């Protein structure tokens, strides 16, 4: 397993592209992206748990009924949510892409991201479709990654290479996510591609199994979005024996998928709106995996702790507080807490009580760009990791006038 370049275009048979068609008010940012597989692909997806869902999710779920897809089209700048004609617009996007690519509309998956409740016109999408299709390229991942960005400050792309049945396979992805990020399924847009041969049912099993430990463990601001989903396409062009059941090859595929999704989780959390620090909470010694996840999520979601991390303040009481309301049944008198970064590691709590530590050393550790919050519950063997970011003045500035 090794990291490689290429993102969603790393796998055989996949091209991508992105253009500015005029949906966004910003006249320089790309706002339309396309991913295309030259061969039919197994497809799987997971969707936001928010009861208010964007029309593209409804259309994508319908188009995925047969477990197959060839393309994904996504616009940024407008979420196409809470619009009376939302389904019509989403279906129209699929039809426009299908006609340009000589596909069935059912072979095209649709996504949108941006402002909720604003009408979305098909006109700029139709006018930009020719340029979008022409932009498709094996080197087009950066343009596609840019085309799905909203308040993101950096493109998010990653890929890995691995072996299945003696054949070299690849799996890569792109993501957008900066605000309105909270663990409860998906809560961002992620598009993943692979040239491995795997059945639709096993692909869905792999994706559904992975998100509980990855995308469900990311939080920026506690808001679960309306439009977010994770889509995974696998076209089989690597030529490996098709994965149709659990076994060594499925395990290897899951490892590749997890490497990519964890990488994207860290990128999303680290690029939280206004963020200056990536926070990773690692919980060990839990009585069960569910409890470990509850604790890790609760800590990473604490606004008070996030604010303390912004100020490089080793306020470990906020960690204990978040653990206490996590809902996990625990003996709080056995919990140890520490902080770590590339500047070092320091223990601040032992058996649920504070221990002497150097505030100066703690400040130095917490002033780094990436901070680890270390929690040992000392009550079992289960573990979990969650990702988040600090809470800064700029988060309020960004969201104070997001729509206008």
Tens-digit pLDDT profile for the chain (404 aa)? 899 999 999 999 999 999 999 998 777 899 999 999 999 999 999 988 777 788 999 999 999 999 999 999 999 999 998 889 999 999 999 999 999 999 999 999 999 998 888 899 999 999 999 999 999 999 999 999 999 998 788 899 999 999 999 999 999 999 997 654 444 433 479 999 999 999 999 999 999 999 999 988 987 655 455 568 899 999 999 999 999 999 999 999 999 999 999 999 999 888 877 789 999 999 999 999 999 999 999 999 999 999 999 999 999 999 999 999 999 999 999 999 999 999 999 999 999 999 999 999 999 999 999 999 999 999 999 999 999 999 888 777 766 775 65
Same domain for 289 and 265:
no
Rounded to 5°, the CA angle 258-386-216 comes to: 65
Q: Are residues 257 and 291 in the same domain?
A: no
| 57 DSSP assignment | H
Residue 14 and residue 133 in one domain: yes
52-57-63 Cα angle (round to 5) = 150
- CATH number of the domain residue 10 falls in: 3.60.70.12
Instruction: Domain count for the chain, please give it.
Output: 2
Q: Are residues 227 and 308 in the same domain?
A: no
Show which of 222, 250, 270 is a domain's final residue.
270
CATH of the domain at 338: 3.10.20.340
Q: Is residue 71 domain-shared with residue 165, that is, in the same domain? A: yes
pTM of the model: 0.90
Q: What's the chain's length in residues?
A: 404
Residues labelled catalytic: 187
360: containing domain: 278-400
Which residues touch 362 (CB under 8 Å, ≥6 apart)? 312, 314, 339, 346, 348
Strand ranges for 51-183 from DSSP E? 68-78, 108-115, 156-164, 167-176
- Using DSSP's 3-state secondary structure scheme, residue 386 falls into strand
Helix (H) or strand (E) holding 38: strand 32-47
φ/ψ (deg, to 5) at 65: -60, -30
Count Cβ atoms within 10 A of the Cβ of residue 400 and give its class: 0-12 exposed, 13-18 middle, 19 or more buried: exposed
Same structural domain, 104 and 142: yes
């Amino acid at each position: 397993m090794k990291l490689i370049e290429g993102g969603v275009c790393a796998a055989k048979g996949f091209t991508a592209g992105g253009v500015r068609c005029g949906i966004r008010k910003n006249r320089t940012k790309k706002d339309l992206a396309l991913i295309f597989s030259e061969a039919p692909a197994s497809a799987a997806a997971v969707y936001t748990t928010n009861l208010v869902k964007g029309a593209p999710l409804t259309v994508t779920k319908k188009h995925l009924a047969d477990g197959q897809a060839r393309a994904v089209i996504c616009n940024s700048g407008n979420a196409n949510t809470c619009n009376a004609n939302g389904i019509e617009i989403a279906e129209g996007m699929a039809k426009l892409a299908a006609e340009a690519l000589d596909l069935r509309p059912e072979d095209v998956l649709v996504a949108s991201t941006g402002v909720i409740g604003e009408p979305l016109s098909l006109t700029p999408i139709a006018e930009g479709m020719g340029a979008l299709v022409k932009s498709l390229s094996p080197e087009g991942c950066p343009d596609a990654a840019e085309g799905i960005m909203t308040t993101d400050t950096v493109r998010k792309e990653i890929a890995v290479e691995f072996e299945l049945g003696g054949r070299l396979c690849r799996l890569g992805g792109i993501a957008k996510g900066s605000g309105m990020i909270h663990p409860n399924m998906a809560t961002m847009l992620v598009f993943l591609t692979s040239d491995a041969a795997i059945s639709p049912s096993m692909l869905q099993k792999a994706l559904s199994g992975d998100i509980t430990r990855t995308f469900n463990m990311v939080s920026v601001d506690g808001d679960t979005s309306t439009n977010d989903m994770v889509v995974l396409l696998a076209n089989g062009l690597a030529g490996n024996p098709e994965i149709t059941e659990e076994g060594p090859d499925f395990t290897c595929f899951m490892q590749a998928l997890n490497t990519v999704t964890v990488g994207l989780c860290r990128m999303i959390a680290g690029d939280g709106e206004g963020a200056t620090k990536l926070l990773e909470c690692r919980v060990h010694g839990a009585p069960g995996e569910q409890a470990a996840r509850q604790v890790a999520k609760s800590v990473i979601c604490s606004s008070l702790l996030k604010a303390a991390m912004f100020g490089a303040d080793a306020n470990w009481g906020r960690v204990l507080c978040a653990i206490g309301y996590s809902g996990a049944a625990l003996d709080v008198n056995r919990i140890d807490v520490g902080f770590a970064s590339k500047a070092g590691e320091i223990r601040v709590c032992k058996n649920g009580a504070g221990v002497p530590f150097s505030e100066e050393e703690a400040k130095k550790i917490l002033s780094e760009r990436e901070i680890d919050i270390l929690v040992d519950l000392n009550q079992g063997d289960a573990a979990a990791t969650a990702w988040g970011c600090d809470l800064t003045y700029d988060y309020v500035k960004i969201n104070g006038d997001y729509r206008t």
